Structure formats: C-alpha cells, structure tokens
Amino acid sequence: MKSRYGFLLLLSAITTAQGVEETNISESKSISVPLATTSPAQEWGLTSQEWPRYQQLKQGERGIWSPGLDPLTTLDVEAATEAERNHYAELLVEKESQRVDKELAFQRAYDTAWKRRLPVQTPVSAGNASPAVPADRRLTVFVRETCAACDSLVRTLLRAGNPLEIYLVDSGGDDMRLHRWGVTYHIDIARVKRRDITLNHDAGRWEHYGRGKMPAILEKQVAHGWT
C-alpha cells in the first residue's frame, strides 16, 4: 500500500513538473511573437480617415488617369481646399527627402563597391557605353522608377554630362509622375530647355529597342537613329 501511495505521489510530481515546463514554453513563445508591422497609412504619414479616401480615389477616375500614383500625390491632386493641398505637398516633400537620402546612401555604397571591384572601369563602360560620346551622338536610356541599377546608371550619366534621352518605362503616360522623377535626380533645367536632356514617356519603345534589358542604354547618332 505504501509503495502504491509513493508511486502516485511520484506520478503527480512528474505531471506537475511537465505542466510547469509546458507553461514556461508557452510563455516563452508568447514573448517571441513579433510586433505588428507599420500600416500603409502610417508609412505615408496619413490618418485612418485619409487612407480610405486615397483608396476611393484610386478606384475612380484618378486611378484610371494616373495608375500607380502614390497616395500623397493622389490626395494632393484631388484636394478640396488649398490647406489640404499644402498639407499633402509638405508630406510629399518629406517623403521624397527620405527616399533621396536612402538612394544616395545606396549610391555611395555602390560606387565604393564598384571602385573596389573594377577600379579602372566606370559603371557606364561596364554597360557598353562610354562616358564621353561624340558630339553627333547621344545616349538613350530606358529606366524604371523602382530599379536600383537604373538609379545608379542615371546618376553616373548625369555626372558625366552626356546628352541624354531618358525614357521612363513605367510612367503610365503621367506627366506629373515623369516630372517628379526628374526632380528626384535634380536634373539641370537649363539642360532640359536646350534639349541636351529630354524626359520622355516610353510608349512601347523599350520593348522594341531594349531587348528585355533593364536598364537599357543605346547610343544614338542624331542623323540616323539608334545603334
């Protein structure tokens, strides 16, 4: 009888210990649960009332006219008052500033890596185009907005001072989007006015000339077209 009683006590102790261990494991798991990610509205500095407004506009005429337009520009263009327009413009400037800071940090890291790996060449010569081109020729570049390699190439070509025809493949025919893209790169307006640099909607040219490459860069003889 004593032996059986002792066995029951031992079994009870083991069960209790297992329960404590399971509780500790459960608590440990609950601690490791990741925090909720930032909502899209918070990422763009918008309130819970402004975000549904943007989604509503995206489903309407503005979404058809300007597909892919960012939330702040969408709300700014469709603002009902001057105060709203100024508010979204301020948010957009701040967002663009953050974007440029990130891209410049990437550019510095990319340039450092390039110099370390290929100290003699420049990124442009690696893309089969010389930084300096003859006076009767100009470079035509096809790029996308969200393309790190495109960003690096455009900045390198702008620093080299080449005559450029830049085609934004994913502009969607939106002039404002094309303009904002140009502003991001601080393109000299004087060069644009004298047609030394042109910003263009792609309109299908990349599919014909780019041969699937992104970015794609071509040398164009002014009198004869692309080579």
pLDDT for 74-98, tens place per residue?
999 899 999 999 999 899 888 877 8
Report the 10 Å Cβ neighbour count for 50. Answer: 19
Q: Is residue 61 part of a domain?
A: yes
33 in a domain, yes or no? Answer: no
What pLDDT score does 84 carry? Answer: 93
Q: Are residues 140 and 112 in the same domain?
A: no
Which of 116, 131, 146 marks a domain boundary? Answer: 116
Q: What is the largest CA-CA distance in the chain?
A: 110
220 strand-pairing partners: 138, 226
Give CA–CA dist 146/157, Å, rounded: 18
Report the SS3 class of residue 216: strand
- DSSP states along 78-111: T-SSHHHHHHHHHHHHHHHHHHHHHHHHHHHHHH
Angle at 119 between CA 116 and CA 123, to 5 degrees: 95
**Count of positions (residues) in the chain:** 227
> Sign (positive/negative) of CA torsion 174, 204, 68, 192?
negative
Residue 138 shares a structural domain with residue 199: yes
Domain annotation covers residue 103: yes
Do 55 and 97 belong to one domain? yes
What pTM was computed for the model?
A: 0.43
Give backbone dihedrals phi and psi of 29, rounded to 5 degrees, phi first: -65, -40
Specify whether 222 is located in the same domain as 125. yes
Can you tell me which residue has the tokens 């609950």? Answer: 30
Based on the fold, state whether residues 107 and 126 are members of the same structural domain: no
21 in a structural domain: no
* Total domains present in the chain: 2
CA distance 75 to 188: 28
> 151-170 burial, b for 16+ CB within 10 Å, e for fewer?
bbbbbbbbebebbbbbbbbb
Residues 108 and 149 in one domain: no
* SS3 state at 106: helix
Q: Are residues 180 and 214 in the same domain?
A: yes
Same domain for 211 and 158, yes or no, is yes
110 shares a domain with 54 = yes
pLDDT one digit per residue (tens) for the chain, 227 residues: 545 444 444 445 445 545 544 444 444 444 444 444 678 899 999 999 999 999 999 999 988 887 778 899 899 989 999 999 999 989 988 887 787 677 667 767 876 876 777 554 444 433 444 444 445 567 888 998 888 888 888 888 888 887 889 999 988 888 888 888 888 888 887 888 888 899 898 878 888 777 778 888 887 655 445 44
Of 57, 86, 116, which residue sits at a domain end?
Answer: 116
57 and 151 belong to one structural domain: no
99 inside domain: yes
Residue 1 lies in a domain: no
What is the rounded CA–CA span in Å between residue 202 and residue 66? 15
Q: Which domain holds residue 155?
A: 121-226
Q: Are residues 187 and 205 in the same domain?
A: yes
| Structure tokens belonging to residue 139 | 């470079």
Same-domain status, 148 and 177: yes
Structural domain ending residue among the three candidates 93, 116, 139: 116
